Amino acid sequence: MARAALTDVLTAAQQAGSGLGAFNVIQVEHAEAIVAGAEAAGRPTVLQVSENAVRYHGALAPVGRAMLEIADAADVPVVVHLDHATDVALVEQALALGFTSVMFDGSTLPVEENLATTRGVAERAHDQGASVEAEIGEIGGKDGVHAPGVRTRPEDAARFVAETGIDAVAVAVGSSHAMTTRTAQLDLDLIAAIREAVAVPLVLHGSSGVPDDHLREAVRAGMTKINISTHLNGTFTRAVREALAADPALVDPRKYLGAARTATAHEVERLVRLLAG
Ligand SMILES: [Zn+2]
């Protein structure tokens, strides 16, 4: 059984000066590919599903149970994590299913309400042996709004962690969500300052927009959990497109989804090795 606690895997990565790749699942093939890539690299990983992806499926349980089964069968440690939940009821569902980690995203709530709600989520998750990631500061709009000016202040992050009891904190240091070009410039000095001020591992969202060598620099500066979604979707979809274009008579979904799964596994293996350093 390779289902792992986020805190165990993150702490080990942080102590080793490594980054932990966390990859978003949309369908079963993604989960299979991510675990295959992590196994090929011989490294732990995080399978995560976002509230948006849950909404796409209409429910958490079918995709969530598949992730848990795939994690349990893996021969490396695999964290099963709920990404960007704004709905506390969805957090409770994930914990009941056996997810080992949840992210509560109260970043759009007023500060005091975010603190109180996040603290409550952390208590419930810890009661079940699960970890909690939460967010302070905005990381940029999902609708492609680039927000390079948004930054987390180290003292705010330290207060947020101390007052909520969370296990990992997502901070805004220059990346934004859903970038399809890898041109983001991270504030490495700010990462180092937050790392100094905060007791728990730091999480980088919007990492798809960050080029390879800059990701390594971010890890060296103090980032540990590195969330990658859009970049991997690009790999997956490119392989589907190539398979369909190469054979206009193709009808079996296994032919193009299989090609996409293989391409995604190779890219995950490459990224996991890159982040491990
Ligand atoms: Zn995110």
Q: State pLDDT tens for residues 96-147.
A: 999 999 999 998 888 889 999 999 999 999 999 999 999 885 554 443 333 5
Say if 201 falls within a structural domain: yes
Say if 137 falls within a structural domain: yes
Q: Nearest Cα to 152, choosing from 111, 96, 122, 208?
A: 111
pLDDT value at 150 more than 80? no
The one catalytic residue among 8, 75, 83, 87? 83
Residue 152 backbone phi and psi in degrees, to 5? -90, 135
Total number of domains in the chain: 1
Q: What residues does 46 pair with on adjacent strands?
A: 22, 79
DSSP structure string for 60-122: SHHHHHHHHHHHHT-SS-EEEEEEEE--HHHHHHHHHHT-SEEEE--TTS-HHHHHHHHHHHH
Residue 136 backbone phi and psi in degrees, to 5? -120, 135
CATH code where residue 271 lies? 3.20.20.70
Q: How many angstroms does the Cα of residue 202 sit away from the middle of ligand 1? A: 13
Catalytic residue flag (residue 247): no
Domain range for 251 is 6-276
Q: How many angstroms does the Cα of residue 248 sit away from the middle of ligand 1? A: 36
Residues 230, 275: Cα–Cα separation, whole Å: 17
**Cβ pair 146, 100 in contact under 8 A:** no
Check residue 141 and give its pLDDT.
45
Q: How many angstroms does the Cα of residue 250 sit away from the middle of ligand 1? A: 35
pTM of the model: 0.94
For the record, the structure tokens of 146 come out as 């680039």
Is 135 part of any known ligand binding site? yes
Owner of token pair 């895997």: 9
Check residue 139 and give its pLDDT.
52
Is 84 part of any known ligand binding site? yes
Is 72 part of any known ligand binding site? no
Alpha-helix runs per DSSP H in 148-198: 154-164, 188-197
pLDDT value at 209 more than 90? no
Is 105 part of any known ligand binding site? yes
Say if 1 falls within a structural domain: no
The residue type of 210 is: V
